[in-house]
Chain A
Amino acid sequence: MSESDTGLDEAVARAAAHLQALEAAVGRALVGQRQVLRESVVALAAAGHCLLEGVPGVGKTLLVRGLAQALGGRFARIQFTPDLMPSDVTGHALFDMKTEEFRIRRGPIFCNLLLGDEINRAPAKTQAALLEAMQEQQVTIEGQPLPLPAPFLVYATQNPIEQEGTYPLPQAQLDRFLLKIFIDYPGEQEELDLVRQVTNGQIGDQLDTSRVSRVLNTQDITAVQVVAARLRMDDSVLHYAVRLIRAARDWQGIDTGPGPRAGIALVRAARGHALAEGKAFVTPDDVKAMAPAVLRHRIKLTADLEIEGYRPDDVLGDLLAAVPAPRS
């Protein structure tokens, strides 16, 4: 083992410890949902934005508030509504009567961790303002480019039911999200623990994140992201990731396949996953573990499968089982 390998291993160990501490801290507030928590942490390590989807009351907002509590940095929350304007998100210039000059008033987007609650409730132009900032990592107000603080991560939520009066995100904008995390109902025992924990000494129904302690700061997050980006990835694993993406484009039942950005996202997510697992290199297992979350919002099923009630995860399951893994 070379010296660089030793140094990387130590950095990986530190970063993995950070991520495990983060998982443990948020896990105190969000009972169950381990897979969801792991994917959220992976997104953080891979410096990618997340789209959280789930029915009301499964803990989407609680998850992000817990993450914000554990991470430190500046946290902001925007409740997306049909009358929300782009300037409500990004900020605007206002005339200061005292100084007789225009002054930039920065919007809530200038933060480290942004929770966009029910993003599909806002009209397309407001969504576009946020999504543009996510891509560019900067906001332009009155012609003046303003960089967003690093790290900048967006966790947006949306509800799969009650689609009336919503503005579904177009495919091109969904592509900006590294992962789409689906939060399902918890298991019976997990739900029992959750109800017990939340109702024990709790007044009202506000989200309780008091159990979550701060375990990381913004520098730690940046360091973790740097380590994740340095993880070793063998060519065979890289080929495997690309093979998956290309197979998805030709797969029966998939009308529109993922673009090249999906391959990049898959590799980034796999690095994040490997780091969360405490590994200094990426294996096909990491790629496979992150493929559903990376691809489920980047593919569009054919009309007949949609009518028959298939979900993207069903088709992706078939695809992952059929594409040969690099075990040679």
Chain B
Amino acid sequence: MELDRAAAVLRPRRSWEGVDLGFTLARLWFPTLWLLWWLGILVLALPALALVGGQADWWLVLVWWFKPLYEAPLVFWSSRALFGEPVALRDVGVIFRSAWTRRLLPYLLWRRLSVSRSFNLPIVLLEGLHGTAVRRRRRVLIEGDGTPAWLTLICYHFEAILWGGLLLGLYFLIPAGLPDIDLAAAVTDEQSWPYWLSSACYLLAASVIAPFYICGGFALYIGRRTELEAWDLELAFRQAGSAGSTPRTGTPGRQGRRTGPGRPSTMTLVSTLLIALTVTWPGGGLQAATPATPWPDAAGARAIIAEVLADETFGRTRELTVWVPITGPDEAPTETPPWLRWLGELALLLGPLLKWLLISCAVAAVALLARRILRDWRPETRRRRQRSPVVGAASPATDFHQTPTDLAAAVRARLAAGDARGALALLYRGSIAHLSRCAVAIPEGATEGEVLRLAAYHLNASELAPLRHLTRDWEALAYARRAPDPDQITAHLAAWLRWTDTAAPTPDGADHGA
């Protein structure tokens, strides 16, 4: 690995700056990476097709699961290309042999769903570590940085958007007259041709996103190593060491730090770097800057390196925010007034109280919301919920089912007493009670007309006619105060007895007035 020949400037970068570099590299190398990805997938996809026997869903799952297999050659090729040793595509065998190693196995099994795959693959493939060493190395390199996971998430979304876009694009661009794509079948019916088309769109989307994903992760890896191993300093020293020798042409893609012998900037840079090294070298102090002993011996260096690595602040960045009063040079700090101090103490007292109050309110709001959701979840309560009882609603339907034991006798008694309304009401109620006994369900809100319509489903014409006459007379009496003749009520009673076929007393209830 020749750092001097790197295709990009090696300097410490922030995580997203690193991803940006990766995407730039992916754009630069896209045709090669894209072809490599397709070569990788063809090796698996064609045998898988025969294996699953035309089941598109299983085929797609297999192809998706083995994604690291097609990404590994991309990592390998990128690592060579970055340091000026690009492998030609005709040497595809070399690429695949180097990429498809035993070390890839965990990423095809239990590490397949790792969200930091793009970052971890270079560690596994390029550093050749095994077992505990690779775990320790991974921990050192990633060190709680969530960027690789975010990169995976973002690329996953881009992949999904591209896939959906391709499918919808095809759907909308199909000319009239040709068979339409069934979008539902394209995602659910694995036996249909739209599903295969959808799978093809997915592979195309994945092939486009994969170079960016891999290069993004690889650039993050390179950035982290540059930071930890001070590649930028090493490069600067190398350039300083070669000062005065043959001028070297800058690498394509390098920007900013291109220096040359004889230029004032070269000397300035070297001086700056030496001073920086002197100041930051642990235990070195100013002696490190003397030309007689510029470097410690190997044992001393190892001790210093161990000391630096052991320091808990090594490799960490800490941000501190402090409040600095803006005062003029002559201004003396003023005494805080007592009321302000009292206010501050009160705020300190009320702060936690307010915090807990807000937390309690939030918990109560969540509980109320959950209760409401649960209540609304039950479909039967969505529509049929009455917040308050219906105003003035007696429950006549309940009364209707309670009739005197001997209804005929009760009707006759009321007729004899001259209570025509009471007699007719009793008779009508008896009719409804009989309908209920005949399994005619009469809701509370049913009016006389609706009762007749319900009865018409269950009674024949001869049974219905007396009920119709009774209802007509009952309505005239109840709503127009027009009482029928007592003879007519007697005739209704006789018809009712024939209908119910019970001269005998009815079984339930006590005598209730109308």
Contact = CB atoms under 8 A, between A and B. Distances in A.
A305 B383 contact: yes
A285 interface: yes
A318 B384 contact: yes
Given A315-B383, A318-B383, A327 B392 contact: no
Contacts of A251: 386-387
A250 B386 contact: yes
Interface string A304-328: 1100101000110010111111111
B479 A234 contact: yes
B482 interface: yes
Contacts, number: 118
B377 to A, nearest CB: 12
A209 to B, nearest CB: 33
A1 interface: yes
Given A285-B449, A324-B393, A250 B388 contact: yes
A137 to B, nearest CB: 31
A253 interface: yes
Interface residues of B, number: 39
Contact of A328 (B480, B482, B514): B514
A252 interface: yes
A252 B376 contact: no
B206 to A, nearest CB: 37
A322 B400 contact: no
Interface in B380-439: 382-388, 390-397, 399-400, 425, 428-429, 432
B386 A252 contact: yes
A282 B444 contact: no
A281 B479 contact: yes
B397 A327 contact: yes
A252 B445 contact: no
B447 interface: yes
Nearest to A277: B449
A314 B481 CA distance: 35
Interface stretch (A46-54, A101-109, A127-135, A235-243): A235-243
A327 B384 contact: no
Contacts of B387: 250-252
A236 B478 CA distance: 9
Given A1-B482, A234-B479, A283-B475, A327 B396 contact: yes
A239 B376 CA distance: 32
A92 interface: no
B482 A5 contact: yes
B448 interface: yes
B253 interface: no
Contact of A239 (B392, B450, B475): B392
Contacts of B366: none
Contact of B445 (A237, A280, A314, A321): A321
B136 to A, nearest CB: 55
A322 B482 CA distance: 29
B479 A324 contact: no
Interface string A267-282: 0000000000000111
A246 interface: yes
Ordered nearest first, which 10 A-B pairs have the shortest CB separation?
A: A252-B385, A281-B480, A285-B449, A328-B396, A284-B447, A234-B479, A325-B447, A246-B391, A321-B445, A247-B390
27 contacts: A232-B481, A234-B479, A242-B391, A243-B391, A247-B386, A247-B390, A250-B386, A250-B387, A250-B390, A252-B386, A284-B447, A284-B479, A288-B445, A314-B383, A321-B443, A322-B384, A322-B386, A322-B443, A323-B393, A324-B390, A324-B393, A325-B445, A325-B446, A325-B448, A326-B478, A328-B425, A328-B429
